[in-house]
Structure 1
Amino acid sequence: MSEKQLLIVSFSKKPEFYLIIRKDAMDKLKLLIGKLTLAFTDADFLVSDIVYKMGITGERFAFFADTKTGHKIENLRNFLQKSDGGPEKAFLPLIERLDELRQERNKLVHSIILKSSTGEDFYIRHRYVLNKEKRVMRDQATFDLKEYEETLQELLGLCKEMTEYYWGLIPTKIKNGARVIRKGEATT
């Protein structure tokens, strides 16, 4: 093994307690999973704030605190579909896209992942889920990092759109005689 493949960790000042750990071939994937997880947390927090601003919940962090993301998105989707229009109806397409990205993220985050042993740059994921009859279903697929890098970029773009949507819910305020002008808003 080359030096680049080894990581030496010292647990004490005594040389006999050095542990040699092989550098993991899946570092790029781990970093990508971390980025996806953090981006989804940002999206979840944004949705919580938006839902609060719209008056759907009375507690600012109520939506965010619920960890069953699929269920809370489904409940929010049902609520938004029943709305008459306005800001609630305009939020529905963003929620639909978030749910699609959540499902893609879950395929990666909740799977057992193996790297190709042939040296090729692809991975195999094995995901096990319970169906409605409580039977274990196996979902196996091969993928490369590019697929999930694209998913990450879509999620980051959606977060940006949701942030713009959020700022559109807040009335323009006048402070010290100066009106706040948002990007794209007419100045006359």
Structure 2
Amino acid sequence: MGTDDFYKIIGRVTVSLSRIDFLLSNIAVDVKLVPDYPEFYGKQNLKQKITELKSKINSHFNESEIADAFINNLNRLDELRQLRNQLVHAVTLQNSDEIMFYNFRTTSEGVKRNVTIVPFNDLAALDTELINLHNDLYTLRKEHFK
């Protein structure tokens, strides 16, 4: 994978997650978590949004099968969110078939460095998984709220 392909994947991952975030904001209105989507969309912490939606969805649906489908997708999103964070908050180096993500965090014990090595094919899979997740959430919303 060349540099341009790598940049394209980063862009697609970023845009896909933004689209999911916007969709979650509309679902938050559907389950009456907030009166208007900008109130939810404007929150900065996606993990917090996922947690709030999961608790509200459980109490919103009488049919546990529908709630479970939403919760499973939100759990998928939480896992993908963590991978996305590594991708966009890292210094990246690449060689012929993998990318190394260097993340630095300041803790009470000092600066911690975490290096994650990801094959290019895994990045392409992340891109595809985010698109599929968006489509799955969109379908659930369309079937159960519209």
Quickly name the TM-score band, shorter chain normalised.
Answer: 0.7 to 0.9
**1:51 alignment partner in structure 2:** 28
The residue type equivalent to 1:103 in the other structure is Q
TM-score, normalising length: structure 2: 0.84
- Alignment partner of 1:56: what SS? coil
The residue type equivalent to 2:76 in the other structure is R
1:136 CA displacement = 3.0
**1:111 alignment partner in structure 2:** 90
**2:9 is the counterpart of 1:37:** no
Hey, what's the Cα distance between the residues in 2 that align with 1:43 and 1:64?
10
Identity of aligned residues (%): 24
CA contact (8 A) 2:31 2:56 kept: no
Q: C-alpha deviations, 1:154-183, integer Å up to 9, x for none?
A: 111111111111111235xxxxxxxxxxxx
**1:125 alignment partner in structure 2:** 101
Could you tell me which of 111, 118, 123 is aligned with 1:136?
Answer: 111
CA RMSD in angstroms, aligned pairs only:
2.2
Could you tell me which of 164, 172, 178 is aligned with 2:139?
Answer: 164
Structure 1 residue runs of 5 or longer lacking an equivalent are: 1-24, 172-188
CA contact (8 A) 2:23 2:138 kept: yes
Structure 2 residue runs of 5 or longer lacking an equivalent are: none
Structure 1 consecutive aligned stretches of length 4 or more whose deviation exceeds 4 Å: 81-85
Q: 1:160 to 1:134 in 2, by over 3 A?
A: farther
Give the aligned length.
143
**2:76 is the counterpart of 1:97:** yes
The residue type equivalent to 1:161 in the other structure is D
CA contact (8 A) 1:54 1:88 kept: no
TM-score, normalising length: structure 1: 0.67
Q: 1:75 to 1:55 in 2, by over 3 A?
A: closer
Hey, what's the Cα distance between the residues in 1 that align with 2:109 and 2:42?
27
Hey, what's the Cα distance between the residues in 2 that align with 1:169 and 1:114?
44
